[in-house]
Structure 1
Amino acid sequence: MFKQGIEPVQSLYIDADDKNPNSTVISLAQPDLGLPSKEYYEDQEALKKYQSGLVSILKRILGPTSLNLAKAKELDLNILTDVEIDTLVSNAIELETSIANSMVKSQDLLDPVATYNPESISSLQQSYPFLDWTAFLEEFLPPGEPLPPAIIVTSPVYLQRLTGLLQNTPKQKLRDYFVMRHAISKVYALDKDTRTLLQEMRGSIFSGTTKLPPRAQVCTKSTSSTFGFLAGRYFVLRAFGGESERAQVEKFVDLIQSSWLKRLPELDWLDAQTRSRAISKMSKIKHKLGYSIKSPDIRSDENLKEYYQNINITTTSFYDNENSATAWELADIWSRMGKPIDKARWMMDAQEVNAYYTRTGNEIVVPAGILREPFYDPDVPDYLNYGGIGMVIGHEFSHALDNAGRMFNGDGQLEQWWTNSTLKSFETAAQCYVKQYDQWTIEGQDKKQHPVNGNLTLSENLADNGGLSVAYMAYQQLASNASLQTATSNNVNMRLPGLEQLSPEALFFVNFGRVWCNKKRPSMAEQLLLTDVHSPNRVRVNAAIQNSEEFARVFQCPANSPMNPIPKCQLW
């Protein structure tokens, strides 16, 4: 199942070693399940819908339909009766529920120190003997590649519970669970009627929509996912200004970074030792902007052709194409074992509307996809760009010093470099944010208010607040310093026609709100509360603004009004 990208009882990934960031390491983590999070398995109504949906899907795939009977006869395959499918689904859900109950909550897996637990293969075999770990690893490692000296176990508690669970689970129940997971994982590549059954099941439980997306959208998304760098090349050629625009964005990012470097000396809760190393770390942060220029270089069609040459594509079978792409991706990932980390590799494609910071690389990455309206437009006044992409870039820089990023030094190595006094001040301030965000709620499908999890979202909330504050500071520096207003600056203090009553500073905040404006179905909003480390967008905007003294001043909000509470949570 692992060879087909299915991880039913544990997830495995290969990445930089937190304590030796130039080297690769294998990590074992909790798996993704059929439902979005462990909390869904405590909801009896959700489980009833899940069971009913799975039965309908598996009857279509494995049951005695006219199509299945004919094909089974041709291939000499077994067809399951309705009773057998009912039993299979009951067994599968029972085991999956037990696996979910064994898992640790997401918010308890956010500490890089607590999740860094190296174990030798022999120790792994002794502690978790439900699998022949040597045979399993040798199945995937490149020929001639020795077993790694250690594997990182991110949640020993989960693997301990899983070991006990699997040792006491009948083989037939395990088989039924694996059959269900395999079948459901492939439904997206099957016929429309089967895909509709899956969409209806998920829609009734957690997504809120039971209608299939247009097929063209599905195909575009699949192509972009499989051939991300290739799709990114076409996106850049069509929608991005190439090297000249990338150079312009670099100057923009430099100003955000320099604003952070000016902000850090002003923070009195950082003692001298920690401040010095924080400044050093911030100054070392590298930038990758626009698109990949190595590993592969998307500017080169020959480089891309070589990169994707081992994927076999047919014009007759989407299912076979997906299996080929999965096999290629797994081979690519495992080929990295025993080699130094390729620091030129991107973890996002150029067309993605997103950005990220890597702790082991100490770098920010801003794809071309987010360097567009409403986040960024080189032809609009600068204050709109600073309220949009400026905040996003400031947000990514903030992750270098958030509750997890602070545990890595400027070279990307896991190290406790904060003094105890600074750490205590940080934790006190962080708890203010936890309590603030805990007070925010969203309306669920039951029409009740559901609270944001301030602990789960802490890292992103700190980054939102820091990013907004530093982006505003950077714009103020630009607006007041003619020497910074190079040819890349644009209408620094221009008022917008029709909105002359709003100052450039006000429009900075307006665009900050604008870029996060969205609408979600209540059931999807509930799901994200349990699974997303980001707060809901409405909360991301309003909670960060509540903490902004600049916003209160610009919009003249009375003290202790809803958008200008006293006291505020302050860190950056």
Structure 2
Amino acid sequence: MLSIRKAVLAALCLCPLGALAADQAPDFSSTDGQYLDWLDRSVKPGVDFFHFANGGWLKANPIPPDRAEWGAYVAVDLGNQRFIHDMVEKASHGTKAAPGSVEQKVGDFYASGMDEKAINSAGIKPLQPELDRIAKINTVEQLPDEFAHLQMIGVAAPLSLQQMQDFKDSSKVIAVAMQAGLGLPDRDFYVQSGDASENIRAEYVKHIARTFQLLGDNQALAETEAKSVMTLETSLAKGSMTDVAMRDPKAIYHPMDVSSINALTPRLHWQGLMAGIGHPEIHGLNVATPDFFKTVNVELTHTSLNDWKTYLRWQLVQTYAPYLSQPFVDEDFRMASVLNGEKQQKPRWQRVLRAEDNALGFAIGKMYVDQKFPPSYKQAATQMVNQIRDALREDLKTLAWMTPATREAAIKKLDMMELRVGYPDKWRDYSGLQIDRGPYVLNVMRATTFEQQRQLAKIGKPVDRSDWDMTPQTVNAYYDPSMNNLNIPAGVLQPPLYDPSWPDSVNYGNTGATIGHEMTHGFDDQGAQFDGHGNLKNWWAPSDLKKFQAAVKCVADQYSQYTVADGVHVQGKLVTGEAIADQGGLILAWRAFHAQPAFVNAKTIGGFTPDQQFFIAYGHSWAMATRPETAKTRVTTDPHPPEIYRTNGVLANMPEFQQAFGIVPPSPMVKVDRCVIW
């Protein structure tokens, strides 16, 4: 389920990250950023620009068997992983690191994860104390205590307790309770009809049963247990909000004091829940999804204690299966392959490195930045960010449909937006985190608890504006509406996406559009509801808001027409914010590119004009092949459109693109009744 931050925090989706089957990243070296071998010149730009720009890449780079998707961003992440792998592996072989030092923790975590012999020998034993704890629950009244305990070790079942900036007062950090507790990726998987959904549910029940057998239960008992888990999770799913509904910040903002929420859901014992997460002083919180908690309250009456305990056992083991012995890892992958189509598991070192990035990401990030991200890169990228903000400011000054009062508020918000590039000014402190050489699963659990405690400790404290949600090595970017800040990690600022030595045409078409995308999120259908201070507040004149909402509907309707594998439709209302950001971001990048003094002398390269280079670079940024299973899962759960539509859907609305390639209607790349916001 969506966390409260994911429900409102807007990120550029770079999709599940992966590697080549041969475990080798492509060579992205280029003197001018032109990847002309990526093109498929048999496809006309005016018919399908995505395949014109990327057909060569797609043919030369089939999806590896251990990947659900494969594309440019994924390959960049692989390069980062290989670079970091060398660092952590060296640390794991070191013997001179001081106990408790970052070097010791980075090295020991990796060593514990790579010690397959010890992991397989231990089996389920490291998790046995947690299983025993669940087994000792004697009454339904004890369940909320276990919910709180599981929350602290990263098992959000059936609820998630977090912190958030108060939507109405962004200077405050408050507690928030969110719906959670589903084993399938989204509530829709439990309620959708059709053969595909029914097949996934059937496979999921088999998967649960096989996992219980790995825990030692006989087949008949395991099958009964699996059905009980599915019954309870289905009830929870039916009580859950849809991802589309959760995109409205007002719909997930219901501040209540503990006495009020106890009256609404008395069986959850909220004061005890707060004490269980280490914060008995909390007397109020945002109950983001009240109807869900009403459902939980009902199930605490109607579902037997034994079934609840079975469910909690399942949620615990499912959460930690990737870090247990090989039978659990294999069974976890078997279900994942049903959902995403992967044919084989990723190499172990990549799986361990991903876990270590979650556990010690900013410690690794400091090492990464010191070795791979020179100050010149940060300076050049920061300059581009400022130039794109200038372009948006000029756009806001001249928008014909925006009245003066709204225009002034929009410009004020933009001027207040904090622009952060590369890495945080203050590095995270891991001194309180215990890491040793094993068991691996306990390192993961301690790291999870450490982060949970760090996050919850923010409640009632001043907002820490130095904190980042993404590590520096992350190949992604995001905008946070409550902070009103834009964040471009160092990991995304490298070839084939960016190089300060490349022509502006390439850098602005690719990374410039990424920057513009995140900046536009401050003014998409979600971001536009927050003011410059990060407060949920209407700053729109009624007439302007009506025009804006009409334009938003145009975008939603456009993307609802698109389909993926087996004719499954994109959810226009789910992807609207990202589609708006894609369109606005590319327009801003194009205007910023044209505003550069160097544009006047920009050269034709490889037979393509500077404007054509710009749009080809944008097309390259979305080079991605996706398995059908993953494509169908993503349109159910992902607020980002499929890559082909992040290319063609945006460009069809952009006359500047059509002029650059001489495209005239009728053409699939020209939307006559185009959607216009920025």
TM-score w.r.t. length of structure 2: 0.75
Identity %: 29
Task: Tell whether 2:583 aligns with 1:451.
Answer: no
Task: Tell whether 2:189 aligns with 1:83.
Answer: no
Aligned residue in 2 for 1:99: 236
Aligned residue in 2 for 1:542: 648
| Aligned positions of 1:430-509 closer than 5 A | 430-443=552-565, 448-479=566-597, 493-496=602-605, 499=606, 501-509=607-615
Aligned residue in 1 for 2:106: none
User: In angstroms, what is the RMSD of aligned CA positions?
Assistant: 1.5
C-alpha displacement of 1:159: 2.0
Aligned residue in 2 for 1:230: 363
**Cα distance in structure 2, aligned partners of 1:316 and 1:452:** 44
**Cα distance in structure 1, aligned partners of 2:229 and 2:529:** 40
* SS class of match (1:293): coil
Residue identity opposite 1:22 in structure 2: S
Aligned residue in 1 for 2:203: 49
| Aligned positions of 1:170-569 closer than 5 A | 170-204=304-338, 206-241=339-374, 243-296=375-428, 307-443=429-565, 448-479=566-597, 493-496=602-605, 499=606, 501-569=607-675
Residue identity opposite 1:416 in structure 2: N
**Cα distance in structure 2, aligned partners of 1:441 and 1:82:** 40
Q: Which moved more, 1:431-440 or 1:315-324?
A: 315-324
* SS class of match (1:130): helix
* SS class of match (2:636): helix
**Cα distance in structure 2, aligned partners of 1:129 and 1:370:** 47
Aligned residue in 2 for 1:136: 273
- Count of residues in correspondence between the two structures: 524
CA pair 481-90 structure 1, distance change in 2 beyond 3 A: closer
**Cα distance in structure 1, aligned partners of 2:298 and 2:649:** 44
Q: Bigger relative contact order, structure 1 or 2, given CA contacts below 8 A and separation 6+? A: 2
**Cα distance in structure 1, aligned partners of 2:300 and 2:656:** 56
CA pair 481-186 structure 1, distance change in 2 beyond 3 A: closer
Q: Which moved more, 1:86-95 or 1:363-372?
A: 86-95
Cα deviation per residue 1:435-475 (whole Å; 9 max; x = unaligned)? 111111111xxxx1111111001111100000000100000
Aligned residue in 2 for 1:73: none
**Cα distance in structure 2, aligned partners of 1:481 and 1:35:** 50
Cα deviation per residue 1:248-300 (whole Å; 9 max; x = unaligned)? 2211111000000001122111111101111111111111110111153xxxx
C-alpha displacement of 1:479: 4.4
* SS class of match (1:416): coil
**Cα distance in structure 1, aligned partners of 2:653 and 2:540:** 25
Cα deviation per residue 1:71-126 (whole Å; 9 max; x = unaligned)? xxxxxxxxx33322222111111111111111111101111122211010000100
Unaligned runs of 5+ in 1: 64-79, 297-306, 483-491
Aligned residue in 2 for 1:109: 246
**Cα distance in structure 2, aligned partners of 1:495 and 1:291:** 35
Cα deviation per residue 1:1-47 (whole Å; 9 max; x = unaligned)? 11211111122220211111111111111215211112222332212
Residue identity opposite 1:220 in structure 2: L
Residue identity opposite 1:550 in structure 2: E
Aligned 8 A contact 2:560 2:569 in 1 = yes
**Cα distance in structure 1, aligned partners of 2:281 and 2:441:** 33
Aligned 8 A contact 1:391 1:512 in 2 = yes
* SS class of match (1:228): helix
Cα deviation per residue 1:170-204 (whole Å; 9 max; x = unaligned)? 11111111111111111111112221111112212
**Cα distance in structure 1, aligned partners of 2:460 and 2:225:** 41
Aligned residue in 2 for 1:59: 213
Aligned 8 A contact 2:651 2:657 in 1 = yes
**Cα distance in structure 1, aligned partners of 2:229 and 2:507:** 50
C-alpha displacement of 1:399: 0.9
Residue identity opposite 1:467 in structure 2: G
Aligned residue in 1 for 2:27: none
Residue identity opposite 1:233 in structure 2: K
Task: Tell whether 2:152 aligns with 1:3.
Answer: yes
Aligned 8 A contact 2:593 2:599 in 1 = no
**Cα distance in structure 1, aligned partners of 2:414 and 2:247:** 22
Aligned 8 A contact 2:181 2:315 in 1 = no
**Cα distance in structure 2, aligned partners of 1:336 and 1:141:** 12
TM-score w.r.t. length of structure 1: 0.89
CA pair 323-481 structure 1, distance change in 2 beyond 3 A: closer
Aligned 8 A contact 2:210 2:222 in 1 = no
Q: Which moved more, 1:162-171 or 1:207-216?
A: 162-171
Cα deviation per residue 1:281-323 (whole Å; 9 max; x = unaligned)? 1111111110111153xxxxxxxxxx11122112131111111
* SS class of match (1:364): strand
* SS class of match (1:113): helix
Aligned 8 A contact 1:314 1:320 in 2 = no
**Cα distance in structure 1, aligned partners of 2:438 and 2:519:** 46
